[in-house]
Chains A and B, each alone.
Chain A
Amino acid sequence: MTLDHLHENNRLQLAIGLLIGLCFGVFLYIGGVTEYNVILGQLLLTDFTVVKVMLTAVLVGMIGIYLMLGRGLVELHPKPGSIGSTVVGGIIFGMGFAVLGYCPGTVAGAVGHGALDALFGGVTGILVGAGIFAAAYPALDEKILSRGVFRSMTIPDALKVNPWYVIIPFCILIAAVLAGLEYFGL
């Protein structure tokens, strides 16, 4: 079975999604990032666990995805963005991140280990917020989301260079940040 056939098999894809999600949940849990205390500790700059997990995932993920891209095994799916969408939405997201203490992925993991505030406050709130966005979408799309659309999809496109000229410096930078966090005992 080729990869295209696999991608088109909807029922099998649902099972693969569940399996990948299971592993994702295990990693989020063992990484400690499904804990309110760890997430708020990151935002209060007293605990750098969230940054360590995310930067390691980006470092490992980026190298693998671009190696596979070079061999034609995968396609990229960068999201478009704009000032009105990415920046304004990002500010609202950050406020929610600090007030709730979980994000859409980690809140599901938090419910899994018994956090009832994540279930009754967090998940219900996220569903209501997503519903409000869906209701307001036509007006928001016209007035705000389309303002200041970013010209390039990816950083290598923006710089018009081979992606590896960006990946290698980014990987060195991420490794340096992680080494720095360990050096200072954060």
Chain B
Amino acid sequence: MEWTPYIAGAGIGILSWVAFLLSNKPLGCSTAYARTSGMIERLFRGKKTEEKPYYRKFAPVVDWEWMLVAGVFLGAFAAAMLTGGFALEWVPTLFGDTFGYDTALRLAVAFAGGILMGLGSRWAGGCTSGHGISGTLQLAVSSWIAVVVFFISGIVTAFLLYGVFW
């Protein structure tokens, strides 16, 4: 039996206690991308960006959750460096072994997937952290429905992509 997924999961569960207690906030990641997108848009369009209804709800500023996502990057970087797991890689092996190690193809697919992810996570009001972990642990109705839909849609799409159905 491999214990690390359970240790990592228990650690994330305890972190959710800390986040609720010290910050009165659930762990979540996707609004940080919406805020960043607004910050980038503001560079080009100026103050008009802030008048968009969505950015009135989620102002394009660095907030707690933005710092959380920055922390995820730094934490994974530190852990990878300390364990010798850091490696620059353009194409993950599962993708490369199936579709070939063409960097342009992988980047195009990842970009298309990213657009769906950015759109879907804001559309659904949360992601795998906000709904999948923080929402379900609060027993939120919307989050349990969201996480079931995330996985059914993800499994069907992955089976189609990797040709499991044919």
B-contacting residues of A (Cβ < 8 Å)?
3, 6-7, 13-37, 40-41, 43-45, 49, 52-62, 64-65, 68, 73-82, 85-118, 120-135, 137-138, 140-141, 145, 150, 152-158, 163, 166-167, 170, 178, 182
**Interface of B (DSSP majority class):** helix
In the assembled complex, 17 residue pairs joining A and B whose CB atoms fall closer than 8 Å, in A order, are A16-B64, A17-B66, A18-B67, A26-B11, A56-B8, A60-B9, A74-B21, A79-B130, A93-B116, A93-B146, A94-B152, A95-B116, A96-B116, A114-B86, A117-B106, A122-B110, A130-B122
> Interface code B108-146, partner A: CB below 8 Å = 1, 0 otherwise?
111111111111111111111111111111111111111
A168–chain B nearest beta-carbon distance, Å: 12
**Those 6 A-B pairs whose CB atoms lie nearest each other, nearest first:** A125-B114, A21-B71, A129-B118, A94-B153, A25-B75, A81-B142
Q: Residues of B contacting A117 with CB < 8 Å?
A: 89-92, 106-107, 110
Q: Are the CB atoms of B117 and A100 closer together than 8 Å?
A: yes
CA distance A88 to B109 in the complex (A): 22
B24–chain A nearest beta-carbon distance, Å: 5
B71–chain A nearest beta-carbon distance, Å: 2
Q: Residues of A contacting B91 with CB < 8 Å?
A: 117
Q: Are the CB atoms of B141 and A150 closer together than 8 Å?
A: yes
Q: Are the CB atoms of B79 and A132 closer together than 8 Å?
A: no
Q: Are the CB atoms of A93 and B36 closer together than 8 Å?
A: no
CA distance A45 to B94 in the complex (A): 14
B35 closest partner in A (C-beta):
A130
Q: Residues of A contacting B62 with CB < 8 Å?
A: 14
CA distance A19 to B27 in the complex (A): 12
Q: Are the CB atoms of B5 and A133 closer together than 8 Å?
A: no
**Interface of A (DSSP majority class):** helix
Q: Among A24, A103, A163, A178, find the residue whose CB has the most chain B CB atoms closer than 10 A.
A: A24
Q: Residues of A contacting B36 with CB < 8 Å?
A: 127, 130
Q: Are the CB atoms of A104 and B11 closer together than 8 Å?
A: no
Q: Are the CB atoms of B124 and A85 closer together than 8 Å?
A: yes
A93–chain B nearest beta-carbon distance, Å: 3
B117 closest partner in A (C-beta):
A96
CA distance A30 to B145 in the complex (A): 28
| Known contacts A18-B67, A122-B114, A23 near B119 by CB under 8 Å | no
CA distance A141 to B5 in the complex (A): 38
Instruction: Decide yes or no whether B1 CB sits under 8 A from chain A.
Output: yes
Q: Are the CB atoms of B120 and A92 closer together than 8 Å?
A: yes
